[in-house]
Chain A
Amino acid sequence: MPETDSTGLLRGLLASGAVAAMALAAPAIAGQKLGEPQSIRAPEVIYAKTCGYCHGRNVGPIILGRGLPAESVKYIVRHGQNGMPAFRPTEVKPEELEALAAWVEKSDARKGEHGQ
């Protein structure tokens, strides 16, 4: 929200207080709530917010639409491979990993992904 006068910053900040007060009264339904731990995430969410930052973006190889066996996906997530870090059961919960690995195995390729 580019502002054109020097009072814009102040106005923006005041507005932010109002927005936040509303937000605190009625937290967004979908995401993490204040004071609560993150709940179990769907495979699409984990892919978008972890895997997909590298895979399909030239950093890691493409993993969607290749029919990668779920067992291999699980192993690689927990051990890391070459430059890939390992992800612990506290980061990707066991039940999240089960669903994620099955989802990756069955996934379709995505247009726009590129990898080496």
Chain B
Amino acid sequence: MSDLNLDRRGLLGAGIIGAASFGLGTGASAKNPAPLAPHMTKADYAGAMKAFRGVVGAEWVFGDEEAVAPYAKVYVPDPMNRHVPIGAVCPESVEQVQELVRIANQYKQPLWPVSTGKNMGYGMTAPATPGQVVLDLKRMNRILEVDADLGTCLLEPGVTYQQLKDYLVENNIPLWIDVPTVGPIASPVGNTLDRGVGYTPYGEHFMFQCGMEVVLADGQVMRTGMGSIKGSTAWQAFKWGYGPYLDGLFTQSNFGVVTKMGLWLMPKPPVYKPFMIRHPNMEDTPKIIEAMRPLRVSNLVANCNLMMSASYQLAMFKRRNEIVPDGAPLDEVSLKKAAKANGLGMWNTYFALYGTEQTVGAIEPIIRASLTASGGEVLTAAEMGDNPWFHHHATLMEGGLNLDEIGLLRWRGAGGGLAWFAPVAAARGVEAERQTALAREIVEKWGFDYTAAYAIGWRDLHHILALLFDKSDAEQEKKADSCYRELVTRFGAQGWASYRTGVNSMDLVAQQYGAVNRDFNARIKHAVDPNGILAPGKSGII
């Protein structure tokens, strides 16, 4: 780690102490303002906010406690109240973003950019370090282009999946969108920038991104790929451009503010057929993954599969105390009973076939044979009918919209607490088996449940553990925080680090990736953003 990096990190540490000594609640108050970035004075902050108002108008700058409240709500554990923004500013154009960035440099006021700010379970709009003003891009929500022949679109950051879907449907354009589970209120741009996932064959979102426009920390506008060539028609058609591939630098990072993004959209296939594979035992984990891997690697099954545990599935639509009494452990017998009563197994794996009658008809028997041999029941709409879980996943796998999974947030008590833990492994049964055992040991030690799933990618596994807790209970919040940290470090020690994490743990996850990688990111950061005004702390980069 370079000296400069250490200095910056030290400064941010001062901010943390500030937050603790103010004893903030979920937000700040006039008497107890949220701490400023450590190098800033009250006059700097006031000057920056005044100048922001001059750019976007007073009605789109928020500074007092009540006005900032919608930006302060988080699901993640934050027992120290570190992740509280001190304001928000909401531009409506690229030119306004440029102006705001220049002002931020002048006053050294850090800005935390969000597109739709629904990074739920990762921090919503809350920043990674104290003293940041949210740069809320939701007002920039124009759909700039949709090319029905090429299956591409160009979007501003504030366009939700719902807006894009509505546009395609209203204009009879037979292209699909690919949604994360919470599509209606989230955005293609925000999700892709955090390298999120969905469940059609276009589910690895960053893979299907093509071309960006970025406002750099010095206020310049840069276009990636073919976007900087005057007259090019290939900005949304050819990803790589010339020379080093730049787009990745702007994902999960703090090197620029993305103001436009191109995406590929999947043509609606003539035939779509969703499947569910029901396995009866927790111990079936390796068998399922060994059976799915060849189907995924060969792309016979082309979408990202969700292999959902019974507990995760039940937590979507049930409350914990419907299954076991409050305070009792979530034992396997009770779980199995509840799962069975709802048409579920202990593992429920969802995938779909996409194509023509002939291609689907040809692939289905191959898939049935290998999944039946793994001990699973192969089920379709014919058997599952209107089962709410099957319906939910069948909707997702065709890019449909719902918010069913928000039900997870009511699992325990008053609910409202969720932190996603998402370590990656290669798609091998034995790795999943070991991960499940380790995760269960840790969460159960802290009194939480193993509500988890595996997303089976092309060759990888994302183990998705929903750490669910009652956020109204301060003790539980503290335990959730400690539990999360133990998960990160003990998984890290086994070679399993997260693909993405919440603002509560960005630094800790960055540590798992090692000093050389951290230092390289820091050197880029210092070169492109010498005043550190863009999202300090994002992915542990300062």
Contact = CB atoms under 8 A, between A and B. Distances in A.
Q: Indicate whether A and B interact.
A: yes
Interface of A: 1-6, 8-9, 12-13, 15-17, 19-21, 23-24, 27-28, 30-32, 34-38, 49-50, 53-54, 57-60, 78-80, 82-91, 94, 116
B143 interface: yes
A2 B273 CA distance: 11
B356 A9 contact: yes
Nearest to B150: A17
A116 B57 CA distance: 41
Interface string B89-119: 0101000000000000000000000001110
Contacts of A84: 406, 409
Contacts of B172: 19-20, 23
A101 B158 CA distance: 23
Interface stretch (B324-332, B410-418, B438-446): B410-418
Contact of B174 (A16, A79, A85): A16
Contacts of B356: 3, 5-6, 8-9
A53 B268 CA distance: 24
Contacts of A24: 146, 171
Interface of B: 59-60, 62, 69-73, 75, 88, 90, 92, 116-118, 120, 124-125, 136, 138-149, 158, 162-163, 166-167, 170-175, 184-185, 267-271, 317, 319, 355-359, 401-404, 406-410, 414-416, 471-472
B268 A12 contact: yes
A59 B163 CA distance: 22
A35 B439 CA distance: 47
A50 B185 contact: yes
By secondary structure, the A interface counts as loop
Given A2-B357, A32-B166, A87 B416 contact: no
Given A37-B141, A88-B125, 16 more contacts: A12-B268, A16-B267, A17-B148, A19-B172, A19-B174, A20-B146, A32-B163, A54-B406, A82-B414, A85-B120, A86-B69, A86-B72, A87-B70, A89-B70, A90-B90, A91-B138
A35 B93 CA distance: 12
B149 A20 contact: yes
B382 to A, nearest CB: 15
Contacts of B359: 6
A17 B173 CA distance: 8
B494 to A, nearest CB: 32
Contact of A8 (B170, B270, B319, B401): B270
Contacts of B357: 2-5, 8
Contacts of B158: 37, 90
Nearest to A36: B142
Contacts of B69: 78-79, 86
Given A31-B166, A85-B124, A86-B69, A53 B403 contact: yes
Contacts of B72: 86
Nearest to A14: B149
A8 B117 CA distance: 40
Contacts of A8: 270, 356-357
Given A5-B356, A6-B359, A8-B356, A34 B144 contact: yes
A38 to B, nearest CB: 5
A16 B173 contact: yes
3 closest pairs, A vs B, by CB? A83-B409, A20-B148, A90-B138
Given A83-B415, A88-B117, A88-B136, A37 B406 contact: no
B116 A19 contact: no
A2 to B, nearest CB: 6
Given A28-B170, A79-B73, A9 B148 contact: no
B144 A35 contact: yes
A24 B62 CA distance: 38
Contacts of A3: 270-271, 356-357
B53 to A, nearest CB: 15
Contacts of A15: 174
A48 to B, nearest CB: 10
A80 B124 CA distance: 12
A31 B167 contact: yes
Contacts of B143: 32, 34-35
Contact of A79 (B70, B162, B358, B410): B70
Contacts of A49: 162, 166, 184
Contact of A80 (B73, B142, B410): B73
Nearest to A93: B139
8 contacts: A5-B358, A8-B356, A19-B173, A23-B171, A34-B142, A53-B184, A83-B408, A91-B138
A20 B171 contact: yes
Given A4-B357, A32-B163, A37-B141, A88 B415 contact: no
Contact of A78 (B70, B173, B401): B70
Contacts of B319: 116
A116 to B, nearest CB: 8
Contacts of B358: 5-6
Nearest to B404: A59
B171 A28 contact: yes
A5 B409 CA distance: 45
In this complex, the member of B60, B75, B414, B416 whose beta carbon has the largest number of chain A beta carbons within 10 angstroms is B416
A83 B409 CA distance: 5
Given A2-B357, A3-B357, A85 B118 contact: yes
B185 A59 contact: no
Contacts of A85: 73, 118, 120, 124, 185, 406
A99 B530 CA distance: 45
A91 B185 contact: yes
Given A6-B359, A13-B267, A90-B158, A34 B145 contact: yes
